């Protein structure tokens, strides 16, 4: 052991990496905790072992969050238009319900119920919509068609983000191949 020279190498810490990692802004309506959950899940899945692998993994996480953001924005546009169309249908057609004397309340409650996650209310509102001669799918496809000029920007961005993400996954796999094979009880003592 005396003649062997130990590697004088100091590994990179997290502080040194901070400048190089992509900065992720949390937009209004977004949840920092959700981002952190996604980050942790992806980090555990990608399992970066070196600082450089970590920078690639963090870039993938940022792109995933951006994709999530654009998908949410696109969906919000469609849902907003869907709600407007449903409101229009309910306001122009006769509502055969217990709310008949309170048209505004019916309008608001049914249109909200259709986009809510409460399955029971959604089923009731869907029935009412069907009574008026429409299916939610018909209204949704109309909504999609009407906001197409607004959603294309998100669709375009999503395609770009997906491509960049796929390339980063490829790069990460290439970099991972350079990891040293683990040799049990091995002691690396000097660089060649």
Residue 48 binding other proteins, by CB under 8 A: no
Residues in the chain: 192
What distance in Å separates the CA atoms of residue 130 and residue 94, rounded to the nearest whole number?
A: 12
Q: Token digits for 31? A: 């949840």
Residue 103 binding other proteins, by CB under 8 A: no
Task: Tell which one of 12, 26, 41, 76 touches other proteins (CB under 8 A).
Answer: 12
- Cβ atoms of 155 and 74 within 8 Å: the answer is yes
Instruction: State the nearest-atom distance from the C-beta of 28 to other proteins, in Å.
Output: 14
Site string for other proteins, 160-179 (x = CB under 8 A): ----x--x--xx--xx-xx-
Contacts 24+ apart (CB under 8 A), 27-30: 27/69, 30/69
Residue 17 or 38 having the CB closest to other proteins: 17
Site for other proteins in 50-79 (CB under 8 A): 50-52, 55
Measured in whole angstroms, how far is the alpha carbon of residue 20 from the centre of its chain? 23
Q: How many residues bind other proteins (CB under 8 A)?
A: 32
What distance in Å separates the CA atoms of residue 26 and residue 57, rounded to the nearest whole number?
A: 19
Eight-class DSSP state of 94: P
The residues of the shown chain that bind other proteins, judged by CB under 8 A, are 4, 9-13, 16-17, 19-20, 22, 50-52, 55, 164, 167, 170-171, 174-175, 177-178, 180-181, 183, 186, 188-192
């Amino acid at each position: 052991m005396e003649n062997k020279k130990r590697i004088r190498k100091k590994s990179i810490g997290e502080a040194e990496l901070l400048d190089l990692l992509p900065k992720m802004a949390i937009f209004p309506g977004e949840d920092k905790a959700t981002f952190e959950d996604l980050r942790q899940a992806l980090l555990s899945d990608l399992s970066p072992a070196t600082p450089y692998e970590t920078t690639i993994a963090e870039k993938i996480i940022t792109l995933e969050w951006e994709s999530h953001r654009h998908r949410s924005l696109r969906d919000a546009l469609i849902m907003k238009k869907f709600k407007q169309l449903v409101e229009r249908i309910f306001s122009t057609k006769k509502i055969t319900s217990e709310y008949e004397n309170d048209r505004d309340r019916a309008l608001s409650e049914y249109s909200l119920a259709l986009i809510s996650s409460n399955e029971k209310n959604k089923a009731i509102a869907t029935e009412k919509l069907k009574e008026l001669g429409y299916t939610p799918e018909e209204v949704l496809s109309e909504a999609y068609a009407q906001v197409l000029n607004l959603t294309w920007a998100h669709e375009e961005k999503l395609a770009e983000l997906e491509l960049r993400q796929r390339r980063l996954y490829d790069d990460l796999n290439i970099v991972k191949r350079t990891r040293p094979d683990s040799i049990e009880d091995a002691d690396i003592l000097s660089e060649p």
